[in-house]
Amino acid sequence: MHTNNQSPQVRCVVNTCKYYATGDYCSAKAINIEPRNASTTEMTDCATFERK
Ligand code: SF4
């Protein structure tokens, strides 16, 4: 898996996710976004989401 020292600084408002943190950001070290070949914003999904 690719890693680097940068903070991803992901803003996320999905407050039902266990990685959601107050202030609307993601506390996961890395996230996976799917699917390949998406053609609209709505088609993209955070695959790292886990119900809180
Ligand atoms: S894992 Fe995905 S859905 Fe969950 S807080 Fe992070 S970006 Fe949002």
Atom of ligand 1 at shortest distance to CA of 20?
5
Give the count of domains, the chain.
Answer: 1
For residue 46, the CA-to-ligand 1 centroid distance in Å is 6
Q: What pLDDT is attached to residue 7?
A: 55
Share of the chain above pLDDT 70, in %: 85
**Four-residue CA torsion sign, 41, 37, 8, 32:** positive
- Which domain does 46 fall in, by range? 1-52
Q: What pLDDT is attached to residue 17?
A: 97
Q: Is a pLDDT exceeding 90 seen at residue 12? A: yes
Nearest CA owner, ligand 1 atom 4 = 49
pTM reported for the whole predicted model: 0.81
Atom of ligand 1 at shortest distance to CA of 50?
4
State both tokens at 4. Answer: 């680097």
For 5-14, the CB contacts below 8 A with 24+ separation are: 12/46, 14/46, 14/49
